[in-house]
Each structure stands twice: as structure tokens, then as C-alpha cells.
Structure 1
């Protein structure tokens, strides 16, 4: 029987003696929830954990793509596509893309995520040469104008290679190296970090009938397998972050289950990236069918992720999320430098 260890994360000044610092960051815990496929969850003191169980929870995460993992980071979304679900076409022209990227950097983006292929439900695959033409020139232009780190949002090794050559700092693979396994070697050879995201199925079919035995543990196990695959390809764990893939082959109930137990994924020993911005489940719960009017719900869920210790929030509404995070910081006692 395998146990899965989820820290019950807390923040704020009333930290008891003996509390454990979560991943070298701003949050702490004194108890954990032990999950299993065979028995009901139970809560135990963190002091009851073995050294092997505790180590991935408390080991500080090293900086990634120039970002400190000891504080929350905001990843600004830049879709240079005509068909993304919330802002399709707005930034498809290079001059519009560069202007928007500059605005997000000025608003406090810690990293900019450039994507040239929509992965919304039902989206068609984009040819490699088209995706490169959309992304690489924008990355090169931004690299010459901004110091802000840049990630390439792609499933394809050739797109990643072109982006890294143009100056990207991180590969954000929504298929966790399953769509194009060569992306692992491309990333390893470049010495770049990678984000591995869970998705069930591909964009064309992923929302048809998603099904799991236990969504939280199934996603955890798949990400663990992909981390091992990345390590075998030459990417050390300190250059890997993980994303549970909210909305990618998940129902509303699946998404909520993952968000409620998000802190479980710290047990993988990697930083957590959380992408919830403007997604359909927010519109469903908030009765807001228009994606670009889901900012309040997006900010609320992002802050819930920060409260569980997630290190990178992928967002559309950069300025608003930065303001909310500043206030969250003030009332929870601040973050380590």
C-alpha cells in the first residue's frame, strides 16, 4: 500500500515551535494528510514522518529560469495565436505581441510564457513551421528588449529548439514529453528547465469523457513517471517544475479535487506551476460565459494556490493579480527574500 503525503499548509505569524518550512518558501506546516488508494485519509503530525517522506517537502527549491522559488512568481500569458480561448487574435501580430509583453513586464511579470498553438478543448494541431514562425521572432525581439525570463509554451521539440536559440529560458510542455519525446533531449542539451504538465488526451478529445480512478493520485502518479523520464533524459530534478493541468482532460469535479489538495504535489520535490486563469470551470461556477470577464475568479483561485505554496501562477490579468498578491503578502507576513 502506497502512502501519499500532503502537507496541511499554513501561513502567517502564529508559527508554532517545530513547524516545518515548506520547500524553503513562505509557508509552513505542522501536520500532513496521508492519502492512499486503499484506506480513508488521515491526518498525522509531521513529526511522525520518516526522513524520506519529509525530505521532498522541506528541501528548498533552487531558482528556476532566474526566478526565486522562495516566493510566488507570476507568469504572464502571451498567446501569439489567432484562436486561443480567451484572447485569440489580439496579440497575433508581432508588434501587438511585443507591446503586450512589455506591458506585462512593467506590471511585474516574473516570466513571460509565449505560445503559438492553442491547446483549448477542440483545438487543431498547428504545423511546426507555423508555430516557429509565430513564436521565435517574438522571443528574439523580446530578448533584445527585456531582461524578464521567457518560456516557450509548446509540445514540440523543434519549436522548443528554435525558441531556446532565440533566447527562451524555460520549456513549458503541456504534454509532459509524451507528444514529442525528443523535447526532453532538446531541453537537456540546452541546459534549460522544463515544466511538465498533466493532460489526459490531446486538445481535440481531452474533454470528451475524462475519467480517473482517483484524479488526485492518478495525476500525481503520472507526473512522478514523467519526472523520472525527464531525469533519465538528462534533466535533473532541480530543473523540473510540475503542473497538474487544470482543465486539461478534467471535469469541474476533477479540477476542484486537484485544487483542494494541490499541496500534495510538493511531495514530488519540484516547484508547482498552477494555470487556472480564465478557465471554463471558473465561468461555470461564477456563471460567466465570457472568458475575458473571469478575472476576479481567476485571481481568487491563484491566491488559493499561493496559500498552498505553489511557486508559479500562470495568469492573463497580470496587473490585477500582482496587486492581489501584494496585498496577500502584506496580510500574511511577507515572503523570504
Structure 2
């Protein structure tokens, strides 16, 4: 892995080789690579061996051949974990279907990492096999429950692999509200989804940022009353415990009506979670969708012929200058500060090439 530009992300810059019986390999690094490169040795799937990584200067690799040293990982260990949470009656119960990830790493000349995951059973239990030896004391565990669960995540908590570990997931916060149209009438069959906002994600450092991005978003479809309840993680806690440096959440709530509903796509941005760990519910009240504006037009090819089944999407794009100021206020926004685009409407052309869009009347 290397870079064509020092400001760019790491990418593949060489050929790929498989180790022979003598543990030797030969790879060719492309011309034009700048800075150091990382040699990564990935074990065959299903083997209990860590991935190895060595950083070196490609200009000196022919003079001093790279040597990746695998740590002693003798003694595989079965790690037993029980995932628990607060049940409907208020007691502690096993959490089914939670995704449990156990990861360990060693720094040094040759870095070594190992990660495995599995889902908890009906009792909340899961057993994962990991290599022991030098990695044994480095393991940490993260847990993500199923979508719409009322219990939350645990991120990067230290783990002792030689004994059973019980992990009680924190309670999630319920965001409660009602979807209404521009006249205040409740809307049925609207899909309501809560996504971690960019302010939330980009306030986190690299690893927790990737973790939050991988949490399945809470989603629900409204019934006749238009009411919705979304269970979200109010904060991301270091080592699974609430501390001063932990990052509290902001959520964007998106509304997707059915094609037969006279309402547009809409999003309510940056719902701020109150900094109160005892809060169980956040009432956001009636969330109104704007009046719908219906537009239509024809899609043609370069020769003026009507096109059937062509998809048309219309986006709203943030002002780049204003968004650059937004990025500057956050600790871990990408250096490129990519400007987001928000979908306002979509349609597919019919047999006559006509496309119809329902847009918010602003």
C-alpha cells in the first residue's frame, strides 16, 4: 500500500504475491509512488493467524530485503462472551443477534492485527476462537445490536480472553415524534430513518468514526397516527464507560413517503441529543413535510428520441464556502471536506419518456 500523492489515502501500488514453502515473496512496486509503502501479508481465510504490516522505503528494499516477523501466537483460545441488556420488564436478559467483534494488535517493526466476529445466540452467548501468545493481552471487544434494538453499542472495550465476559449494553435513547403534512395531518406509510449526522461522525477520531458509520441506522414505517419511535445511541463512550471526552450524538432524520403519498422526500438535519445520560426519551413533536410540487418532463437521447426507464434524480448541494467553515469547526473532518448532496426527488421515465418528480415546495 502506498500513495501517488502525500495528501492522498493509502491504496494498492504493487503486484500481489503468494508466499512459497520457503516463506519468500517478490512484488513489484509501481513507478511514481511517493513516500514510504506498507507491505501487508494477509493470511488465508479461516486460519488463526494475524495480518502482518511492515512500513519501509521502497528505494532501499532491494538493498535490505523486507522481513516480516510473525509473533508467537501459540495456543488458540475460545473466547466466551455473553451480551446482555435491559429487557421489556426492566430486568437483565440476553441480547440475541448482536454482532460481536474481537480484535487484537501488536505494534513494532512488524505490526500484527487479528479480528474475528460472530452473532450472539438466543441467550446472548457467542464463542469466538482467537490466537493467543503475544496477542493475548491486546484484545478488545465491540458490540453492535440489531437494527431498532432498544439497547446500544459498546466500542473498543478491553477484553480478558481467559475468562467468560458478560457485557451489558447501554440503553438507547428513543427519539419520538409524529410525521405530518404541510397542513398538520398525520402521514401514514412514511419510512423514517435516523442517520448519524456529519457533525457527529466528524467529531470522532478515525476508528470510532468508522465504527459509527457501520452501525445500521434505526428505521420505522409510520402507521395511521404518523407516530414514530427511533432508538439511537446517544453518545460513543471510550472503553464503554461515559467520560468527559466522549462524543455526544447528532442525528439526521430522513422521511421517505410512498409514491402515492402527496408529500416529498425530506430530511430534518442535526437533531442534537441532550447531554444527559439519564434521559430515556427525546420528544421532537410534529415534524412537518413541506407542500409537494409536482413537475414532469421528457428525457431524450442525443438524437431527440424519447428514452424509457431512465432514472432522474435531483439533489440539493450545500454551499462549498459555508461547508468549508463547517469542516473547520470539527476535529476530524476529512482534509478534502467533501460537500454532501441531499436527494430531493427521483423518478423513472415511462414508455413515453415522461418523468415525474415530487419535490418540496420551498
TM-score by length of 2: 0.22
Larger relative contact order (Cα-Cα within 8 Å, sequence gap ≥ 6): 1
Larger radius of gyration: 2
The structure with the greater share of residues assigned to helix is 1
Write 1 or 2 for the structure with the bigger share of strand: 2
Q: TM-score, normalised by structure 1?
A: 0.24
